[in-house]
Homo-oligomer: A and B are copies of this chain.
Amino acid sequence: MVLEIADIRIHPGQQADFEAAIQRGLATVISQARGYLRSQVQHCMETPERYVLMIEWATLEDHTEHFRGGPLFPQWRAIVGPFFAQPPLVEHFQALG
């Protein structure tokens, strides 16, 4: 199991539209991906333009190769990409312990 953490900054004032879009993108696109396990979206209290998206994948390659190299990726980016104020910082993690 691998945890993708995406640190997202959106354009100011677009919170409501972005929140609807990312939840739609997760429900209709990401959840269809091979190796997708679960996801959550966290909204920052101190920095209202900041969101952290966490997606659990069965393997690293399910995200980096199968998802990013397949037809779902452009669908996902078409839904959420217009809100991004800068490219999200996306890295992968494994739990300690």
Q: If the complex has contacts A5-B52, A52-B5, are A44 and B96 also in contact, measured as CB distance less than 8 A?
A: no
Interface residues of A in 25-68 (CB under 8 A from B): 40-47, 50-52, 60
Q: Is the CB of A91 within 8 A of B41?
A: no
Q: Is the CB of B96 within 8 A of A46?
A: no
Q: Check A82 for interface membership: any CB of B closer than 8 A.
A: no
Contacts of A97 in B (CB 8 A): 23, 41
State the interface size on chain A (CB cutoff 8 A).
26
Copies of this protein in the complex: 2
Q: If the complex has contacts A42-B3, A45-B2, A60-B45, are A19 and B96 also in contact, measured as CB distance less than 8 A?
A: yes
Chain A contact residues: helix, strand, loop or mixed:
strand
Residue of A23, A50, A96 contacting most chain B CB atoms (<10 Å): A96
Q: Is the CB of B52 within 8 A of A93?
A: yes
Q: Mark A64-80, 1 if CB is under 8 A from B, else 0.
A: 00000000000000000
